[in-house]
Structure 1
C-alpha cells in the first residue's frame, strides 16, 4: 500500500484529479481513474490529468476519462494543467509547450486567465474520425430514437458532433440523446456531442455530453468545435463567447488559422490517497 498525492482542480466546473508524476509514479492510471473519479466512492472528477516530463516539449499531459478511457485532448484540463505548473513554479515560461496525444498544445498566461492555442480545426472525416465520404462532415442527418439530428463533425484533437438547436438547450434531453450519438456506429472512436443555440453573432449557449464522462458543466474543446461550426456556417463572427453550464469561454478563430480559447482555471484542494500498487 502506497500513497499518491493529488490536486483537485476545475475549469468552469469541469473537474479534474491532477497527479504530478514528475516525482511519483502512478501505475494503472486507467483503473485509478475508474476508482477515484467516482463521485460516491472516490474523489470525484470528470477526468484524471497526469503530468509527466517530455522529450519534445516542456511537459507531457495524459488524460483519462472517468470510465478509464484515455483521450487525446481536454481544453479545460490543459488550463488547469498550466495553472498547476505556474503556481508550483515548475517553469518561468509564460507560454508553455505541452505534449498531448493531439500534438503540442500551447497555453499562455493572460492575467488570472489562461489562453490556449488549440491549433487548427480538422474537418476531414477520416481524421475526426467519422465514417462518411467527402471533404467535410457537416449537416449529416442521423435518426436517433425517432429524432432526426443534424450534426456537424469537427476534430479539435478529439472528435465532436455539434448540433444547433432552435431554442436554448436548458431543457433539451441531453442525457437521452447524448449517449446514443456518442456511441453511434458512424463514430469509430465514439464522439463528444454538443447541443448549442446561437443567441446572436457573438454568443452561443451550449450543453455538452462528453465521450466517456457523460454530461459535464463545461468542455473546452467542445466550445471550440461549436464556435468553429457556427463560424463556418456563417452564424457568428470569428470571436464569440460560449456560455456553458459552468461559466463562459472566449473562443477566437484568428487570422493564423488557429483557435484560441481563453478561460479560468481553479485549484480546489490537495490530498493524498492510498493505493495498493505504486512504483
Structure 2
C-alpha cells in the first residue's frame, strides 16, 4: 500500500492548451520532477477515456543556450518529432509562466525555433525549419517540415473517409515502419482546406501544424508560385496561416501562424 506521502509525490500539476483544435497537456518541468521512464504515464494522461485527454504531451524544460527546451510526446507515449501547433502552444505557455515576453528562441527536437506572440498571449507566429526539397510518391508530395508528411490533393474533402484512407497510406509497405503523417488538401481558391491523419495519434486530428505547413509549401510548388506567399488554411479546428518565401527551389522564412489558448489547469495523479 502507498502511504499518503507517496500518493502526494505522484501528483502532477498540468495545463491544457489547444491550437486550432490540436490539444496538448503541458507540464512545467524545469525542476525535472516529471521523470520519463517509459510510455505508460504519457499514454495514460493522453487517453481521452481514462486520462486528461490530448493529442500529445509536452515538457517545458530549462536549457542553457535558449529560453527553454520543448520535449514532445505523442499520444501513444513515444517521443515525437516536431509538432507545430504544440510549438505554438508551448510558446503561449512560456509567456504564461513569465519565461518570455513577446519573442522567444527555444529548442525543439528538430533544432532551434524563433517565435513571436501577441500581447494577449493567444496568437503565435512560429518559425519552422527551411525546406530545400519536396519529393514525390506518384501524384502525392512527400517532405519533412520537422515531421514527415504525405500530401495528396483531393476533391470533396469534407466527405472523405480520412481515417480509412490515411490509415491505409500510413501503414503501406513504404511507410509502415517509420510512419508518416497523411494530409489531404482541397484547393478552394481563396484558402486551402486540409484534413490530417497523424501518426502517433493514429487517427484524424482537428489540426496539424507541420502538416498544414507541408501542404502550403507543396501547393506553392505545384502551382509554380514565387516570392513572398501567405496561405490561409482551414482545418477542422479553425483557421491557420502559413507565410514563407519561395524562390522556385528553396523555402525560407517559413512561419506557422495561429491561435494558442489555455483551456484549463489542474492536478492529476499518476
Q: TM-score range by the shorter chain?
A: 0.7 to 0.9
Aligned counterpart, 2:252: 257
The residue correspondences of 1:95-244 to structure 2 (distance < 5 A) are 95-111=103-119, 112-123=122-133, 136-138=134-136, 140-141=137-138, 150-165=139-154, 167-187=155-175, 188-200=177-189, 202-213=190-201, 214-234=203-223, 238-244=229-235
Distance 1:32 1:236, change over 3 A: farther
Contact residue 217 and residue 244 of structure 1 kept, 8 A:
yes
- Alpha-carbon shift at residue 18 of structure 1 (Å): 0.5
TM-score by length of structure 2 reads: 0.88
- Alpha-carbon shift at residue 58 of structure 1 (Å): 1.4
Contact residue 148 and residue 180 of structure 2 kept, 8 A:
yes
Aligned counterpart, 2:62: 53
Aligned counterpart, 1:126: none
Distance 1:151 1:9, change over 3 A: same
Number of aligned positions between the proteins? 251
2:213, 2:27 → 1: CA distance? 26
Contact residue 46 and residue 75 of structure 2 kept, 8 A:
yes
Structure 1: tracts of 5 or more residues without a match:
124-135, 142-149
1:45, 1:100 → 2: CA distance? 19
2:88 is aligned with 1:79: yes
Distance 1:236 1:196, change over 3 A: farther
Distance 1:186 1:122, change over 3 A: farther
Distance 1:106 1:30, change over 3 A: farther
| Per-residue deviation, residues 143-173 of structure 1 (Å, max 9, x unmatched) | xxxxxxx3210111110000011x2311101
Aligned counterpart, 1:131: none
| Per-residue deviation, residues 190-215 of structure 1 (Å, max 9, x unmatched) | 11110100111x41001001111121
Superposed CA RMSD in Å reads: 1.7
Aligned counterpart, 1:133: none
2:244, 2:98 → 1: CA distance? 30
TM-score by length of structure 1 reads: 0.85
Structure 2: tracts of 5 or more residues without a match:
1-6
